[in-house]
């Protein structure tokens, strides 16, 4: 029997398979608060090519998804201005989990429990392949960036702040 870690199914992978999308799977050892930079380090991937999936909300509590470089932060002021709301901020972890259906640290933008608008840092789309969470802690998938944008109907924004 093979010792390779294979993560069988998540709502995200079921969604991708149902839509005929080819993707690659990458397992790593999940570390609390390690985030995208830790996943990238373990997998030998440029952390700038790793997308983190953030569940945020506007001033009315309407949730939204933001895909950001793993080594950057989101300028919430720029995001609010670009999407036409007064204020954007991160959801509390329990609220994010309720909206997404995924455990924090394992959030995928695909097949979220609640349908939410998806915004993607425009410069992430410069990479031919994007790495992001596949719907479980310790589980990354990769797929073409244009496929990701099309499937999620993700709208590009310029809101990255390098971690400093």
pLDDT on residue 3: 38
The average pLDDT across 69-88 equals 96
Residue with tokens 């995208």: 36
Give percent above pLDDT 90 in the chain.
91
Say how far apart CA 68 and CA 9 lie, in whole Å: 24
The average pLDDT across 152-161 equals 95
Pairing mode, strands 72-74 and 24-27: unpaired
Say how far apart CA 141 and CA 135 lie, in whole Å: 9
pLDDT on residue 161: 85
CB 72 within 8 A of CB 78: no
- 93-135 confidence digits (pLDDT tens): 999 999 999 999 999 999 999 999 999 999 999 999 999 999 9
CATH fold group of domain 11-162: YbaK protein (3.90.960)
Residue with tokens 């994010």: 96
């Amino acid at each position: 029997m093979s010792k390779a870690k294979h993560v069988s199914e998540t709502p995200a992978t079921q969604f991708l398979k149902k839509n005929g999308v080819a993707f690659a799977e990458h397992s790593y050892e999940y570390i609390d608060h390690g985030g995208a930079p830790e996943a990238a380090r373990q997998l030998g991937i440029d952390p700038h090519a790793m997308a983190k999936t953030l569940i945020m909300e506007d001033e009315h509590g309407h949730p939204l998804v933001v895909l950001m470089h793993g080594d950057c932060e989101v300028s919430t002021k720029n995001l609010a201005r670009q999407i036409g709301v007064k204020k954007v901020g991160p959801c509390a972890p329990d609220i994010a989990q309720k909206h997404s259906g995924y455990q924090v640290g394992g959030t995928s933008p695909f097949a979220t429990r609640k349908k939410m608008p998806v915004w993607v840092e425009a410069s992430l789309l410069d990479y031919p392949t994007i790495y992001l969470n596949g719907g479980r802690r310790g589980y990354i998938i990769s797929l073409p960036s244009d496929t990701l944008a099309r499937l999620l109907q993700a709208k590009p924004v310029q809101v990255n702040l390098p971690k400093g």
